[in-house]
Amino acid sequence: MKNLLYPLQLQPILKDKIWGGEKLNQYFNKESGSKILGESWEISTVPEDVSIVSHGSLKGKSLQEILETYKSDLLGVKNYKRFGNNFPLLIKFIDAKQDLSIQLHPNDALAKKRHNSFGKTEMWYVMQADEDANLIVGFNQKIDKETYLKHLQDKSLTKILNFDKVKEGDTYFIEAGRVHAIGAGVLLAEIQQTSDVTYRVYDWDRVDAEGNERELHNNIAIDAFNFNLKNDFKVEYKKKKNASNELVSCPFFITNFIEIDMKLKKENTKDSFIIYLCVDGEVEVSTVNSNVTISKGETILIPAAIKTYNLKADYAKLLEVYV
């Protein structure tokens, strides 16, 4: 007999990166002694990196197993028809102590053809930023393929890239085909399609401990660029308290911002799972048969079959994500 579904907490999958730091441990208590902890994968079904449930009667089961067992009860009917046994989103927290490589991701069609993978459209919500920290998103002028390749060859890419100084709460929507990089000193939440396909185009001429430069993918990256994207990547959004304020709505995910200081009765009419990322404070999530509190830097996955639940907080900021 199948266990009753309940809001799922998952064990973070921690990833050391050449550019990582110690904020994920310091700010969010991600248990790692590493000085180069770059990413905490909160919800993942990427092969080799599948999330495991950490609490309740399904503790120890993988998210993939649960999806294959519960199907549309987890994903929602429309999502299960669209994605089958493939969980569509990957949720991460990222700490950049140093600049990440300048990179981009292919769209669905190219990723399917080359990697048998989803493409990667994503969004960022800045949770903390050191003074003068920035993000690179898009170009600072109209660029075509020839101009881009000339600057790439001359190692002068930074002259044509758009640098934005950022602070807590800043939100960016990064479509597949748009060049981007997280700058040193930024701690953020990333919501993206389930894909680990990244094309690095420049890595600041960094070398590893053995003196090797990181692999670049310029010969295949050029086909992934969309030079015609508008500069509409910075997201302006309302911050009405105790209500869902739309951040991003795209074919791959919808994300809302909620600042909450009371008890909210929530009804899931989306025919989708709902994910909550706690980006500040703490919130109690309760259903008929469960009650759990998540705090800053934690995530919870509410299966589609759960139609009513409560959110209660004295103070919390949440990202609410569904498909």
Closest by CA position to 269, among listed 241, 235, 307, 297: 307
Quote the pTM value.
0.96
Domain 13-224 coded CATH 3.40.50.620? no
CB 156 within 8 A of CB 231: no
Tell me if 287 sits within 8 A of 243, measured CB to CB: no
What is the phi/psi pair of residue 302, to 5°?
-100, 115
| Closest C-alpha among 113, 138, 100 to residue 226 | 138
Helix (H, G, I), strand (E, B) or coil at 200: strand
Please state, rounded to an integer, the average pLDDT across all residues of the chain. Answer: 95
Fill in the DSSP letter of residue 5.
P
- Which DSSP string corresponds to 93-113? EEEESSPPPEEE---HHHHHH
Tell how many helices (H) and how many strands (E) occur in the chain. 7, 21
What tens digit of pLDDT does each residue of 286-305 get? 999 899 999 999 999 999 99
The reply to whether domains 13-224 and 245-322 share a CATH topology is yes
Element containing residue 118 per DSSP (H, E): none
CATH of domain 245-322: 2.60.120.10
pLDDT in tens, 181-240: 999 999 999 999 998 899 999 999 888 778 888 899 999 999 999 999 988 999 999 999
Per-residue pLDDT reduced to its tens digit, 64-97: 999 999 999 999 999 999 999 999 999 999 999 9
Where does residue 270 fall: left (phi above 0), alpha (psi -120 to 50 degrees), or beta otherwise? alpha
Q: Which residue is catalytic, options 82, 114, 200, 206?
A: 200
What is residue 79's predicted lDDT score, i.e. its pLDDT?
A: 98
206 counts as catalytic = no
Nearest to 274 by CA among 143, 79, 129, 144: 79
How is the chain split into domains, by residue range? 13-224, 245-322
Mean pLDDT of 250-268: 97
**Phi and psi (nearest 5°) for 66?**
-65, -40
